[in-house]
Amino acid sequence: MRKFSCMKRTHPLPLLFLLLLPFSAHAQQTARVSGAVKTTENEALPHATVRLVDRANTTRVYGGSTDEEGKFSVAVPRGNYSMEITYIGYRKQEASVQLDGHVVLPDILLAEDSQLMDEVVITAKSITYHADGYIAEIAANPFYKNYDLDQILILTPGTNVVRDEISLYGKRVSKVYVDGREVRMQGRELMQYLRNFNGRNVRRMEVVAAGGVEEDASSAGSSIIKITTVKLDDGGMLTAGQSSNHNSYIHYNTTNINTRWRTGRWSTYLTGSFVKGNSLSSRSLENFFHDSGIRLSTESSSKGHVPGNILSTLGIGYDFDARNLVTVEGSFRSRRNRSRSVTDTRQWGVTGFEQTTSGISHGNNNAKMYNLSLNYTHLFNEKSSLVFTADRLQNDGEKNQENDYAYISGDSMQYRNRNKEKNLIHTAAVNWERSLREKDKLTAGIKYTDLSTKSNMDNLLLENGIEDEMASYIDRYDYTEQVYALFSKYALTHSAVNANVGVRLEHAVISPRSAINPERNRDQRYTGLFPEVAIHYDLHKEKGHRITLQ
């Protein structure tokens, strides 16, 4: 009989893998490459992009950006890599490197590319730095017109994309906004969405190195990207494309479409993506534990299948007049993933061969997301505006995982996990903004967020066909969170100094509810006051040298 319990018991050998294998593999497999990127005149190039692609598996991409002194250091698994150094306006440097330990490279010198220099001058002039980061005027820069947005992210200062994860000055980007609406996606799904836009669709991009009082306290200090699209006059534009990512391990096809149209006071836009493909991977690991004398040999292979993921967004806008603008947007996402993996492990002890473990794992991951948002903007005049936004997001997901283990002794273990989850997020916010001087700005706002999660979990563990009642359980878990916030911020610019001063007052109520842990079912409340002070001083604007105090 299944009991309501959260305690779990596992077989000793899988537990040994969980506790020891990652540490041993990490110690034996990690390498590091370090160096510095400079111009041919021996001047440091800060925020140059460094990428390393594993020659044995081109889906494994690592990298980062150089620091203010042009230096970089990247940790990777040992192997043979193609290394690429890029910096806008300079010729790309490529090389093959074999990494078996810590390799320190001689200074890497980049030469100016005369064909790009005119465009680079335009790029430099279209980027305006402020205390939080900078604003890049994309539509005004012809350099960007032939690039998709995911490529533009790589070309702008300090940003980097590695394995579909966006980083800014070495920190992972936690939020992306498009026309004031948060894009609640991450990883490959986010990059798939951004490929729907190119330099002709985007008016500007604001890069925030560290989120301030405008963001929730839980997101404070994280990197943020804000994208504003082009507002058309009467007429429209259509962009469409198809891309493929093929190698020995993956085979994915992606189709993108982006159409925008405006007639009179009405405007509409539609973006969509469809992804389908397969993946295959295999690996072998040898691990020796000196303390116990145990040696493990593991061979594993996995297959993944994406039968067809859909991402679509439809927006409709209406301008009551030049000062009152309304946009309603709806989006739908469907994600389906199938996976199967096989693992064979042999264990040798001090006395010799001990046992063999064979495992098969099947996984299904399905999710559907529905999003509806409203945006109303009132322009008091050229210097002052008020924006109201409301958003509803529903995410329905289901995960099924099955693991079967067989041992040479004849023992067996089966683990089944089924999890259905429903997430609802409601937000409402009002933001007021006013320019006080040519470059100074005062902002203030209020925000309410309501999050609710309902999860049904069913776990079953069988050892030799007999149910383990301590590790098998059914649970219904509900979680709600309400956050109320007020904030105000003043940003000023004077000569080479940029500064932000702000404060955020936030109150939250958190309510967890669990069937198997009723003793923890109590509300939690907190109220916090969060100040923000950031000062930046430009030592050399053309070279990007700055001093920051936060």
Domain ranges of the chain: 30-112, 113-230
Smallest CA-to-CA distance from 97 within 76, 67, 121, 119 is with 76
- Cα–Cα distance between 167 and 391 in angstroms, integer? 26
Please report which confidence band the pLDDT of residue 549 belongs to, taking 50, 70 and 90 as the band edges.
Answer: low
3-12, 80-89, 436-445, 509-518: least confidently modelled range: 3-12
Q: In sequence order, what DSSP letters do the residues of 390-431 get, joined into one string?
A: EEEEEEEEEEEEEEEEEETTS-EEEEEEEEEEEEEEEEEEEE
Question: pLDDT averaged over the chain?
Answer: 81
* Per-residue pLDDT at 126: 67
Predicted confidence at residue 444, as pLDDT, reads 96
Do 30-112 and 113-230 fold alike per CATH?
no
* Nearest by Cα to 319 from 260, 378, 261: 378
345, pLDDT greater than 50:
yes
Residue range 113-230, CATH number: 2.170.130.10
Which CATH code is given to the segment(s) 30-112?
2.60.40.1120
14-54, pLDDT tens digit by residue?
Answer: 433 333 333 334 444 688 889 999 888 888 888 788 888 88
Token code pair at residue 542? 């053309």
Question: Quick one: pLDDT band at residue 6, thresholds 50, 70, 90?
Answer: very low
What's the distance, CA 415 to chain centroid? 31
Mean pLDDT calculated for residue range 300-309: 86
